[in-house]
A and B are shown apart, each in its own frame.
Chain A
Amino acid sequence: MQMRFNWLTAVLAVALLTSVTASGLLLSSNSQLSSDNSASATRLQMNSILSQGQLVAQAEIKKLDALAANLGMDLGPHGLNGTATRALMNATMAANANIISILTYNTSGIVIAAEPYTNVEGRNLSGDVIVQKLLITKMPVMSNVFKTVEGPMGAVLAAPVFDTTGRFIGGVSIVFNPNRMMESKLPQLLNGTSLTFWSMQNDGLLLYDEDPTQVGKNLLGPDYAAFPSLQALAWRMVNESSGYGIYNFAPTAQNVVNTECYWTNTGAHGVSWRLVIVHRL
């Protein structure tokens, strides 16, 4: 009787040990799966918001492009200067808060009318790559981002102007602020998440960042030399229109953070900007 009792106790003990071990393994597996699922959910959310951000940024550029094209058409009957022309230019500026200035120029690239910065009138822009391209192709063009004389970073969307007989008489350029454009649309896509956006031109120039002190710096230049993983990733972004990567960066001197990101492409008329969504690990 005692021997059977001992056997039963031993069997139960082994069964309990096995069951507890199995539970432990399952618990560990569940913990790993929960962690994986949480990481996957974050990445899925990053991908979804990035795609929406790309389309939103693209739509904003298209709005500005359409404003430039329509202004180009509207100026046809009025010419490149005059009261009506300036009224149309000012109405276009009022229609979009991202516009910094608008100017018209003739087929020689001479600025004919500029609003609100009239001091550039008479300046010869024929040496400007984007003006040259418009004068040659007579088609809409977009420039890379540059530091405007007015201060902020700007990009140009330009459209040809034809007179009422269909003769090409010059162009109209809208200078807009890409940082303000993105700032007005992208953060609302991130509501309730811990994600952030930044954007760079294909030469590494930062166009947009939640930290305004980074805007205007070049990721491929000396400002970021202390962060080789970020610079290596920025080079990947230059060469690949979309992707995923991890980098280290220190928003403050003491605080180095490990970050994962997805990026994609946005732009118009052959100009490419990378839009990046970021998650601190």
Chain B
Amino acid sequence: MPPRAKWPLALLTVALLISVTASGVLLSSNAQLQSERNAASTRLQMTTALGEGQMAVQDQISRLNELVTGLSVNCTQLGLNGTALRAQINATMAADGCILSMITFDARGIVIAAEPASNHFMEGIDLSYSDNIARSLATKRPFMSDVLQPLHGPPGVALDIPVFDTAGVFQGGVSAFYSISALMNGTLPTLSVGMPFTWWSMQLNGTEIYDTDPAQIGQNNLGPATDPFPQAKALSWRVVNESYGYGSYSFFVNLDAQQVVTKECYWSTVGLHGTQWRLTIVHRL
């Protein structure tokens, strides 16, 4: 074979080597881009679901506020007690399954009417010592508490609306005690059906008021529970101090499993009458 005839073979070999190398580089780059696309798509889904979750929770809280405000306006005519008022209290509770109980209280903070019937024992009790009632009596303005743990029954949030008589004199208030956990549970999981996301929410003292893993509700993320997870504790402080953000941390996949995994999350803010809670959507990495 003449030497000139070997040139095309050599050229083909070099071209093939270059092409295969280029394919390898492109393949690697493709894998990287695919991975980035998946991550971006997940984060976009997270922020979209978080926005919808924030709206849905806010709407639910606002709806409760409207219900209780409506009842307080009716108290102007009906007073703080009586058959007609109790019927309206029970109708208000029936209108929203998250409401655990309701009371009316007078201008001294004494409970005048309490529903359901299992709470009648509260009537006559002086609640002026409790933070939320004391604040309502002092300001005569609507107020929503953080999550409270009553002596009996599950924890909840007190939503207090003032009551005035027809002459405009402050008479006391209506207080609805509702389960924020039930409210969020009825709202959030449906927004992330089919998506690998979980939710949690905490008040600004670090206490979890809702978690897809119920065992974590009530846990304080700024306390000993996160001592073994400095990243999680640092993130919790950021969540307290910033109304919106993104971060990642390591923590148990859930408290039962005790398996530690890395998670990314976005958080935003919901609330009413000056009380703020952070709402967080989580993706296990």
A30 B33 Cβ-Cβ under 8 A:
yes
Does A224 interact with chain B (Cβ within 8 Å)? no
| Inter-chain contact B44/A47, CB cutoff 8 Å | yes
Interface size for B (C-beta < 8 A) is: 56
CB of B79 within 8 Å of the partner chain: no
**Min CB gap B8→A, angstroms:** 6
A17-25, A88-96, A111-119, A148-156: which lies at the B interface?
Answer: A17-25
**Stretch from A4-12, A120-128, A214-222 that touches the partner:** A4-12
A1 within 8 A of B: yes
**Whole-angstrom distance from the CB of B266 to the nearest CB of chain A?**
8
Interface string of A24-48 (1 = CB under 8 A from B): 0011011001101100110110011
Complex contact B268–A26 (CB within 8 A): no
Are the CB atoms of B23 and A5 closer together than 8 Å?
Answer: no
Determine which of A5, A37, A41, A44 lies in contact with B5 in the assembled complex, contact meaning CB atoms within 8 Å.
A5
Give which listed residue, B41, B51, B54, contacts A40 with CB less than 8 A.
B41
Chain B residues with Cβ under 8 A from A265's Cβ? Answer: 55, 58
Of A27, A41, A55, the residue contacting B268 (CB under 8 A) is: A55
Q: How far is the CA of A8 from the CA of B164 in the complex (A)?
A: 98
- Is the beta-carbon distance between A9 and B12 smaller than 8 angstroms? yes
B20 touches A19 (CB 8 A): yes
In the assembled complex, the Cα of A52 lies from the Cα of B30 at a distance in Å of 33
Contact surface of A with B, Cβ cutoff 8 Å: 1-2, 5, 8-9, 12-13, 15-16, 19-20, 22-23, 26-27, 29-30, 33-34, 36-37, 40-41, 43-44, 47-48, 50-52, 55, 59, 62, 66, 69, 73, 107, 136-140, 160, 162, 165-169, 241-242, 244, 262, 264-265, 270
Task: Assess the A137–B73 pair: CB atoms within 8 A.
Answer: yes
Closest-by-CB residue of A relative to B267 is A51
Minimum CB–CB distance for A61 against chain B, Å: 12
B46 to chain A, nearest CB (A): 9
Nearest-neighbor residue (CB-CB) of A62 within chain B: B274
Can you list, as one digit per residue, whether each of B15-41 has a CB less than 8 Å from chain A (1) or not (0)?
110011011001101100110110011
Q: A12-B12, A19-B19, A33-B34 are in contact. Are A138 and B168 (CB under 8 A)?
A: yes
Residues of B within 8 A of A2 (CB): 1
A69 touches B169 (CB 8 A): no
- Which A residues touch B162, using CB under 8 A? 138-139
Q: Does B59 contact A (CB under 8 A)?
A: yes
Contact of A13 among B12, B43, B107, B161 (CB under 8 A): B12
Q: Quick check: is B90 within 8 A (CB to CB) of the other chain?
A: no
Central interface residue in A8, A23, A107, by most chain B CB within 10 Å: A23
> Is there a chain A Cβ closer than 8 Å to B254's Cβ?
no
B23 touches A37 (CB 8 A): no
| Contact pattern, B 43-86, Cβ under 8 Å of A = 1, otherwise 0 | 11001101110110011001000100100110000000000000
Pick the contact of B1: A1, A16, A162, A166 (CB < 8 A).
Answer: A1
Interface residue B88 (Cβ < 8 Å from any Cβ of A): no
Given contacts A19-B19, A30-B33, A167-B168, 13 further A-B contacts (CB under 8 A): A12-B16, A13-B12, A16-B19, A30-B30, A33-B34, A37-B37, A44-B40, A51-B47, A52-B244, A69-B141, A136-B73, A137-B73, A167-B170
B185: min CB distance to chain A, Å:
21
A29 to B55, CA, bound (A): 37
Closest residue of chain A to B33 (Cβ to Cβ) is A33
A9 to B8, CA, bound (A): 8
Partner of A44, one of B44, B52, B140: B44
What's the Cα separation between A265 and B51 when bound, in Å? 10
Whether A34 touches B33, Cβ cut-off 8 Å, given contacts A9-B8, A138-B162, is: yes
B110-145 at interface with A (beta carbon < 8 Å) = 139-142
Cα of A139 to Cα of B73 in the assembled complex, Å: 10
Distance (whole angstroms) from the CB of A255 to the closest CB of chain B: 29
Asked whether B167 lies within 8 Å of A167 as measured between CB atoms, the reply is yes
Please report the C-alpha to C-alpha distance between residue A9 and residue B44 in the assembled complex, in whole angstroms. Answer: 50
B257 within 8 A of A: no
- Quick check: A29 and B30 within 8 Å, CB to CB? yes
Contacts of A9 in B (CB 8 A): 8-9, 12
- CA of A172 to CA of B279, assembled, Å: 34
Chain A hits for B149, CB < 8 A: none
Which A residues are CB-close (under 8 A) to B20?
19
Closest 5 CB pairs of A and B: A168-B168, A40-B40, A33-B33, A26-B26, A47-B47
Of A50, A69, A242, A262, the most chain B CB neighbours within 10 A belong to A242
Residues of A within 8 A of B244 (CB): 48, 51-52, 55
Report B-chain residues with C-beta under 8 Å of the C-beta of A27.
26
Q: Enumerate chain A residues within 8 angstroms of B37, measured Cβ to Cβ.
A: 33, 36-37, 40
Chain A residues closer than 8 Å to B36, beta-carbon distance = 33, 37
Report Cα–Cα, A168/B140, bound state, in Å. 10
| Chain A contacts for B169, CB-based, 8 A | 165-168
Q: Are B16 and A166 in contact (CB-based, < 8 A)?
A: no
Inter-subunit contact B142/A139 (CB<8 Å) = yes
CA separation between A96 and B180, bound complex, in Å? Answer: 34
Sample of 17 A–B contacts (CB below 8 Å)? A2-B1, A5-B1, A8-B9, A23-B23, A27-B26, A33-B30, A43-B44, A47-B47, A62-B274, A136-B73, A137-B69, A137-B72, A139-B69, A162-B170, A168-B167, A241-B55, A262-B51
